[in-house]
Amino acid sequence: MRQIKSTLKLLRRSPYQALAAALAMSLTFFIASIFVILIIGGQLVLNYIEQRPQVIAFFKDDVSEAKINEIASSIKSTGLAREVKYVSKEEALAIYRERNKDDPLLLESVSADFLPASIDISVKKAADIDQITKIVKGHTEVERVITPENLVEQLVKWTKTIRLGAVIFVSTLASVSFLIIIMVIGMRIAIRRDEVSIMNLVGATRWYISRPFFIEGALYGIIGASIAVILVYAALLFYSPNIQEFLGPIQVFPINPLFFVYLWAGEALIAALVGIIGAAIALFRYLKIR
């Protein structure tokens, strides 16, 4: 308690260094949070796509139901598909009718023969859509295949890019805040040189002398991460209409408040560790006692 009090007193005495350290930390973890959210968001979109049929194969008019079923089970046996659903001409008509029930003109002009039979395939992993499409196209009985292949491909590519960007960007920023912490705590040790040497001479252990600096490092991390998460929360709240519009049918709001609690806890922990390790290096480097 006394340690925390004296740490706080020190922070008040030279607020600029403390500010620099905390801000570097909050910038790092703000950017990190945005990447975390992008990655989770991308995953949500992929999950959404994986949940509905992504590949629809329409068959030529003369293909028999038995043949279609055979093809369906061959696709199933690849293990890539989660579900393969046969939609007969009649079912297709029913769906068509349901969809266009407000438009009598369209309804009249269509009979079951007019619509092709199809199989709707949902994949286990969005990344496999391409492969399944190829397999389906390989069957001569198939007339036409609809797939969102481009969208998914793009999405998968984007998620990979974002992950790479996250690693590079966040680790650079983290290194910078790490160095700033080492510098700031190094300065603190220098400022408290007399105090440190006196405590050392009256029998303070190395741990006793080091502890306030560790607390300080951890504090920078925790304060930085907290500021970051608050900013992210505010930003998400502010932009939620735009985000929802962009995502269309994929429902993400309201975000479970627990998400922010976990985000905060996770980041505060990592940030505190960065601060503590930074302090440890500064102590190793600058604390000369015997």
Partner 1 sequence: MIQFEQVTKKYPNGQIALEDVDLTIEDGEFLFVVGPSGAGKSTLLKLITRETSPTSGQILFNSQSISRIPGGKIPQLRRKIGTVFQDFKLLLNRTVFENVAVPLEVLGKKDSEIEKEVSAVLEKVDLLEKASSFPAQLSGGEVQRTAIARAIVAKPEVLLADEPTGDLDPKTAREVVHVLEKINDEDKNIIVMATHNVQIVNHFKKRVIVLEKGKIIKDEKEGKYETD
Going across the sheet that includes 81-87, the strands are: 81-87, 118-123, 55-59, 142-146
When asked if residue 203 is in the footprint of partner 1 (CB under 8 A), the reply is yes
Question: Min. distance of Cβ 128 from partner 1 in angstroms?
Answer: 59
One-letter identity of residue 181: I
Closest CB to partner 1 among residues 121, 189: 189
In angstroms, the CA 22 to CA 24 distance is 6
Closest CB to partner 1 among residues 3, 74: 3
User: Residue ranges of the alpha helices (H) in the chain?
Assistant: 2-13, 15-51, 65-76, 89-99, 104-108, 129-137, 149-191, 193-201, 206-247, 257-286
| Single residue of 198, 261, 265, 273 touching partner 1 by CB under 8 A | 198
Closest CB to partner 1 among residues 168, 289: 289
Of the ranges 125-133, 152-160, 201-209, 274-282, which one interacts with partner 1 (CB under 8 A)? 201-209
CB 72 within 8 A of CB 192: no
Site string for partner 1, 271-290 (x = CB under 8 A): -------------------x
In angstroms, the CA 151 to CA 159 distance is 12
Nearest residue to 49 (alpha-carbon basis) of 162, 161, 152 = 152
Question: Min. distance of Cβ 285 from partner 1 in angstroms?
Answer: 18
In angstroms, the CA 127 to CA 40 distance is 17
CB 84 within 8 A of CB 54: no
When asked if residue 251 is in the footprint of partner 1 (CB under 8 A), the reply is no
In residues, how long is the chain?
A: 290
Site string for partner 1, 2-41 (x = CB under 8 A): x---------------------------------------
In angstroms, the CA 158 to CA 203 distance is 58
Q: For residue 56, give the H/E element and its range.
A: strand 55-59
When asked if residue 175 is in the footprint of partner 1 (CB under 8 A), the reply is no
Closest CB to partner 1 among residues 216, 267: 216
In angstroms, the CA 95 to CA 88 distance is 11
When asked if residue 205 is in the footprint of partner 1 (CB under 8 A), the reply is yes
Closest CB to partner 1 among residues 124, 206: 206
| Single residue of 199, 243, 252, 269 touching partner 1 by CB under 8 A | 199
When asked if residue 201 is in the footprint of partner 1 (CB under 8 A), the reply is yes
Question: Min. distance of Cβ 194 from partner 1 in angstroms?
Answer: 6
Of the ranges 42-50, 103-111, 178-186, 197-205, which one interacts with partner 1 (CB under 8 A)? 197-205
* Contacting residues toward partner 1, per CB under 8 A: 2, 194-195, 197-206, 208, 290
